[in-house]
Amino acid sequence: MVNQLKAGAVLSYLSLFISSFISIVYTPIMLKLIGQSDYGIYSLATSATSYIGALMFLLGSAVIRYTSKYKSLADDERCSNLYGMFSVMYGVLGILALVLGVILILNVKYVFSNSLSIEEIHKLRIVIGIMVVSISLGIGLGFFSSIGLAHEKFIFQKVLGIVSSIINPLIMIPVFIMGYGVISMVIVTTLLNFITVLINIYYCFRVLKIKITFKKFDLNLLKEITVFSFFIFLNLIVERIYWSTDQIILGIYSGAISISIYTIGASFSGYFSGLSAAISNVFLSKVTGMVTKEVSDKEISDLFIRVGRIQYIVISFALSGFLVLGQEFINLWVGEAYNSSFLIAITLTIPMTVPLIQGIGGVILQAKNIQKFRTIVYFAIAIANILLSLLFVQWWGAIGCALATALAFTIGNIIIMNIYYWKKINIDIPKFWLNIIFMSAPFVISLVTGLTINKLLVSESWFIFVFKTIAFSMFYSLLMWFMGMNRYEKELLIPIFKNVMQKIRTRKLYKIS
């Protein structure tokens, strides 16, 4: 289990690095070949269908939670009955997703007719239609992808995700060069997603050897799962409101090009989220086990602080690096036409930092099945975000939408939730923040130093930018090692360094011999 957890976290970061690298290389090529308008349509379609796509994750945490519970009790029969129940529930959700998708397609013209041309609306309708088919299939058979995580087979899931992320652009770039556009891109993505589902099904039956039975539906358990999943689903809808509604509002008021500019800026918030989730996601089974064994609040609080410190090491590095080098990167990456994307990006990412380094908090609430309060708070703040975005977009356009999202994030995800973690969940939040404050010297020093150097050396080419990035990374790493990290965190890295050095020595000896 420990190896799976460690490997899962390492592979999560490897997957994030590969997908981010591919995105960095692939996005400017895609923008050049399909244009701002088509990219805006793709982003708008993705945002519109993301609300339906939230159904895909409705039961995932429940599968993990209840599988872990029955595995710890060594109750194979109840596990098999549980899988039968989940199979039916996923199938029903897949049909529901298809119905909702048809309703969305029929109403595209009425929602976006003010800002999109007739040709753009026609193309948007086709793209949404293909996405709906992909989402419906993914949800209907999504149970099998959750099973691997429930059995803590993180390596298989992460490797499958990495391979999929590599194959997609390798197919798409030749397709774009041949003159095919955004519709072809969505078709290819749909086919790859379906192949991934088939591989998951094969893995579950042939490798994990799961059994699915439909002998008995435990109505009490069904009710418990429904309540548990309902609040998780509301959380997912809130996330979609936070990260997808702005594109829809811009689609109503500003048009496809504004959506394109906003999406480039907002994409960085996705990279930041991935850095945090890469650690948090692999801890759900572990935390569920701790809760089942009724460990003390102090042990859970210590885990919250320990994981938060590790996340802060990564997030503070990414944030300081982006604040120093982000504007230059965007100019070199997609051009000066996307200058305002940097302001959108930092407006979104700075307030995100706090909930990201506290990502394990959401996992703890899921494991304890007490996410009701957070869901209610997030939902209320999400509604406020919509109202503020509708107001701000008319004053400041895309930047106004980002500002509304950041303000809502600060009130709900930072202020209210920290009080809740402290007062209701008995997590030692003052101790957590003392740890973060004492770790922040490397962040502040590297930020000030980097911004000062920026005034002396501007990145007018990728060569200078890469040189500055490497120098900044080394400077930050040294500062964090000597001023920020404790013994536990250093001991996590020392074996990795030793293994790397051992491999280097072995290769040198092999060459000499």
> Residues near 314 by Cβ (< 8 Å), separated by ≥ 6?
275, 276, 279
Confidence of residue 425 (pLDDT cuts 50, 70, 90): confident
Amino acid 154: pLDDT: 67
Task: Please indicate whether residue 110 or residue 312 has the higher confidence score (pLDDT).
Answer: 312
Confidence of residue 419 (pLDDT cuts 50, 70, 90): very high
Task: Please indicate whether residue 315 or residue 276 has the higher confidence score (pLDDT).
Answer: 315
CA distance 80 to 58: 20
Q: What is the DSSP string of 492-505?
A: HHHHHHHHHHHHHH
For range 347-351, the mean pLDDT: 90
Mean pLDDT, rounded, of the chain: 81
> Residues near 115 by Cβ (< 8 Å), separated by ≥ 6?
251, 252, 253, 254, 255, 256
Strands in 470-513 per DSSP E:
none
Residue (of 350, 263, 276, 341) closest to 310 by Cα position: 276
CA distance 438 to 52: 43
CA distance 354 to 412: 11
Q: What is the pLDDT of residues 454-491, one digit of tens each?
A: 888 888 888 999 999 999 999 999 999 998 888 887 88
| Number of residues assigned to the chain | 513
**pTM value surpassing 0.85:** no
CA distance 437 to 168: 42
Amino acid 283: pLDDT: 59
Amino acid 55: pLDDT: 78
Task: Please indicate whether residue 278 or residue 295 has the higher confidence score (pLDDT).
Answer: 295
Ranking 39-43, 184-188, 223-227 by mean pLDDT, the lowest is 223-227
Residue 254 backbone class (left: φ over 0; alpha: ψ -120 to 50; beta: rest): alpha
Ranking 56-70, 111-125, 268-282 by mean pLDDT, the lowest is 268-282
Task: Please indicate whether residue 160 or residue 273 has the higher confidence score (pLDDT).
Answer: 160
For range 136-151, the mean pLDDT: 80
pLDDT above 80 (res 318): yes
pLDDT above 70 (res 329): yes
pLDDT above 80 (res 49): yes
pLDDT above 60 (res 103): yes
Amino acid 286: pLDDT: 64
Amino acid 78: pLDDT: 75
Amino acid 211: pLDDT: 81
pLDDT above 60 (res 256): yes
For range 327-344, the mean pLDDT: 86
For range 41-51, the mean pLDDT: 84
Percentage of residues in the chain having pLDDT higher than 90: 16
pLDDT above 60 (res 414): yes
Q: What is the pLDDT of residues 368-404, one digit of tens each?
A: 767 778 878 888 888 888 899 888 888 888 888 889 9
Report the Cα 354 to chain-centroid distance in Å.
15
For range 406-427, the mean pLDDT: 89
Query: Which residue blocks in 74-218 are alpha helix, DSSP H?
Result: 76-112, 118-140, 143-150, 154-177, 182-202
Percentage of residues in the chain having pLDDT higher than 70: 87
Amino acid 436: pLDDT: 93
Ranking 221-230, 246-255, 365-374, 496-505 by mean pLDDT, the lowest is 496-505
Q: What is the pLDDT of residues 147-204, one digit of tens each?
A: 877 776 667 777 887 888 888 888 888 888 887 778 888 898 889 888 988 898 888 8
> Residues near 509 by Cβ (< 8 Å), separated by ≥ 6?
none
Amino acid 87: pLDDT: 84
Amino acid 277: pLDDT: 63
> Residues near 88 by Cβ (< 8 Å), separated by ≥ 6?
214
Amino acid 1: pLDDT: 45
Amino acid 422: pLDDT: 92
For range 432-445, the mean pLDDT: 93
- Yes or no: say if 95 and 52 are a contact pair by the CB < 8 Å rule: no
pLDDT above 90 (res 431): yes
CA distance 471 to 277: 27
